[in-house]
Amino acid sequence: MDAVLRTVAQETSDERRAASRPSREEAEAAARVLLEWAGDNPEREGLVETPKRMVKAFEDLFAGYREDPREHLERTFEEVGGYNDIVLLRDIDFYSFCEHHVLPFKGKAHIAYYPSNKVIGLSKLARVVEIYARRLQTQENLTAEIIGAIDTYLAPRGIAVMLEAEHQCMAMRGIQKAGVSTITNQFTGIFKEDPAEQARFMTLIRTTS
């Protein structure tokens, strides 16, 4: 429930921020200031168009702020032939940006759920990961947002989400330890209540063909 409330509250906050969004010209001016602060000359040939490119890159990298997961999760299907066992998507590639240093973290998401009386298109689950990942994030919050959105709009009997990622804010700066994986997971319903279901989920995402 906490994850659902955080998701709804963030969507409301996103709407308020969109109304006061700086102009493209203001964003490009800010990019020039950062280039100059870093010690380079934003007027030299190689950098003169860089502020425009930076702003365009930000549009792509943070496109999740302009998308609503509800649009992808509200369409469900009830004709499942009586199927009521686990539905699992594993190895969903994603990349996001640490909200503390605006450096990337990249990894894989694994999502499973037990349907109640409806299912959702498999690509929609991957889309939810993509929408929330393309925002400034912590991995913990990203995990909670994904599971909260699925629970809100699909209401299955249980959900399991695991994210595995490497954070460049740890590899490129600070302690500078590359190759370290951070794992976060969260469970609801059947998965939260039954450790055997958690074990089944872990076994399935580790099974190789």
Positions marked catalytic = 98-101, 139, 167, 169
Q: Which residues pair with 181 in a beta bridge?
A: 166
DSSP symbol at 41: -
Q: Which residues pair with 188 in a beta bridge?
A: 159
110 is in an annotated binding site: no
Q: By the 8 A CB rule, do 95 and 135 touch?
A: no
What is the C-alpha to C-alpha distance for residues 64 and 130, in angstroms, rounded to an integer? 7
What is the C-alpha to C-alpha distance for residues 3 and 185, in angstroms, rounded to an integer? 13
- For 123-141, b/e burial (b = at least 16 CB within 10 A) is ebbbbbbbbbbbbebbbeb
Structure tokens at 166: 């490497």
101 is in an annotated binding site: yes
Structure tokens at 151: 């629970």
- SS3 of residue 80 by DSSP: coil
Residues belonging to the binding site are 98, 101, 169
Residues that constitute the known binding site for Zn(2+): 98, 101, 169
